[in-house]
Amino acid sequence: MPTYILASIHGVTIWFLLTVWSHYAWHPIALFNALTLLFLAPCKAALSGQNTAAAAVTLNPPAAGATQLSGNAYGIDPNTTKVVIYALTNQWYVQPRVDAPFTDISTNGSWESSTNAWSSLIVLLVNPDNYTPAATEITNPALDPGVLAWTIYPSQPISVDFSGYTWGIKVAGSVASARFDPGPNFWSSDPSVVKAAADGLHLKVTQVNGAWQCGEVYLTQSLGYGTYTVQVSTRLDQLDHNSVAAPLFIYAAPNQELDNEYSGAGGLIPSPYNAQFVVQPYTVPGNIVYYVQPSTAQFTSQIEWYADHVTFTAWNGWSKVPAPTDIIYQWTYTGNDIPPPGQERVHINLWRLNGSAPVSGVGNEMVINSFTFQGPGVINLPTV
């Protein structure tokens, strides 16, 4: 598990927040690096993380639009460790070039590189023998396997802990070029948009600094075949016309996706329906079914995914095994488009259709009470 360090200096005020997971033991190297980061911290904060006790990396704060970057690395061997930089525009792009993704670190720990246009920057410490940079990424590169340490600028949360799992937060900036699909929309990690609280995971469509922002989280690991279940405590039959909620979908690629989605009346889903189960690609006959989500404030959505079938079920209440009368809709798919496991991630999101502002002028919120996963085995679920 990572150590997170947030250090900033403003005038003579120093704010230093260090959170160490309970199994992490302090030792002199880690303490030295933490204090070094504190006193060398830039005037505008950057959020940094360590996946190893000693490794750490900093980024000297660049001016907006700057193309020259520099920083320092600590607790590493510069002969076996490199810097990798990603810049965010409409997605994350490796810098400075696809054919030159690694930046050398000098013997004193300093590094220098360059970048193209960006709204956010991520600097990674990696061992090139254990990490191959992708040319582009949709999800946050700091969460990639093999990353020793990272820093993100400007500072922003990159993950939340919910139901015993770490969930990455989808982020896109506040300029037109930084809209991501679906929508496309602006996606934010601001706590007013995405937060984990005592009553569950909260996602909102809301305005942040004058722009409508959406929320999405995704598991940072593949779970494979099994049964995925979320408990929802929101009336999704009351969504705004331009809002779409997906309390549970499993995504590997555009045509390798399993969805449970809800929309406002006459929005994404054709009237008189307001909910759908989908096996992508949805354009293939038999890969999508529609149903009506009732006015229930507590319901369960489940996807049972195996090589030979996918069973989607929604039911009233949060019972582990529903009574047949509680089942809202159930559909079993046995077609040719069942995705293979390995690259998939569970996602949860709330977004705006075509990036349009809510018709009502106010946003929506979805609260997920819990998420559970059960690996392959017998599921005693009633059928209808």
Question: For 201-218, what is each residue's pLDDT tens digit?
Answer: 999 999 988 889 999 999
Residue 59's pLDDT band (cuts 50, 70, 90): very high
List, as one string, the DSSP characters of 286-348: TSEEEE---S-SSEEEEEEE-SS-EEEEEEES--SS--GGGEEEEEEE-SS-PPPSSS-EEEE
Do 198 and 277 have their domain in common?
yes
Whether residue 226 is contained in a domain is answered as yes
Asked if residue 144 and residue 173 are part of one domain, the reply reads: no
360 vs 254: CA distance, rounded Å? 30
Give the three-state DSSP class for 234.
coil
Q: Which CATH number fits the domain that encloses residue 231?
A: 2.60.120.200
Do 340 and 216 meet the contact criterion of CB atoms below 8 Å apart?
no
Last residue of a domain, one of 153, 184, 212: 153
Q: Which residues contact 197 (CB under 8 A, 6 or more apart)?
A: none
Give the pLDDT band (50/70/90) at residue 219. Answer: very high
| Mean pLDDT of the region 57-74 | 93
169 assigned to some structural domain: yes
- Residue 19 is inside which H or E element, if any? strand 13-19
Domain count, the chain: 2
Count of other CB atoms within 10 angstroms of residue 18: 15
Domain-embedded: residue 330: yes
The pLDDT score that the predictor gives to residue 51 is 66
Residues 10 and 116 in one domain: yes
Contact 263, 274 (CB under 8 A): yes
User: Which of 4-8, 100-104, 248-252, 326-330 bottoms out in mean pLDDT, i.e. has the lowest?
Assistant: 4-8
Instruction: Give the chain's mean pLDDT.
Output: 85
* Structure confidence by residue, pLDDT tens digits, 328-357: 999 999 999 999 999 899 999 999 999 999
Note the pLDDT of residue 52.
60
CA distance 181 to 137: 13
Q: Using pLDDT thresholds of 50, 70 and 90, give the confidence band for residue 156.
A: confident
Q: Structure tokens of 287?
A: 């890969």
Collect all residues with Cβ–Cβ distance below 8 Å to 137 and sequence separation of at least 6. 86, 91, 92, 144
Segment 228-279, tens digit of pLDDT: 999 999 999 999 999 999 999 999 999 999 999 999 988 999 999 999 999 9
**Which of residues 308 and 3 earns the better pLDDT score?**
308
Q: Which residue has the higher pLDDT, 352 or 51?
A: 352
Q: Tell me: do 349 and 215 sit in the same domain.
A: yes
231 in Cβ contact with 370 (< 8 Å)? yes
Closest CA to 168 of 234, 226, 225, 122: 122
Q: Which of 153, 185, 205 is the last residue of a domain?
A: 153
What residue numbers bound the domain in which 65 lies? 3-153
190 with 330, same domain? yes
191 lies in the same domain as 214:
yes
Confidence of residue 41 (pLDDT cuts 50, 70, 90): very low
What percentage of the chain exceeds 90 in pLDDT? 68
Together in a domain, 299 and 329: yes
Position 15 pLDDT exceeds 70: no
User: Which range is least confidently modeled, 82-96, 108-122, 175-189?
Assistant: 175-189
Whether residues 100 and 201 share a domain: the answer is no
Q: Are residues 190 and 117 in the same domain?
A: no
Q: Are 90 and 171 within one domain?
A: no
Average pLDDT, integer, range 114-118:
92
* Mean pLDDT across 72-78: 94
Predicted structure pTM score: 0.74
Same domain, 177 and 137: no
Q: Tell whether 311 is covered by a domain.
A: yes
> Which tokens is 68 given?
């020259």
Higher-confidence residue of 77 and 12: namely: 77
Beta bridge partners of 242: none
CB 379 within 8 A of CB 320: no
Residue 381 counted as domain residue: no
Residue 379 is assigned to a structural domain of this protein: no
Quote the DSSP letter at residue 25.
P
139 and 178 share one domain: no
Mean pLDDT of 301-320: 98
| Amino acid 309: pLDDT | 98
Which of the two residues, 379 and 73, has the higher pLDDT score? 73
**Of 108, 133, 153, which residue is a domain's last?**
153
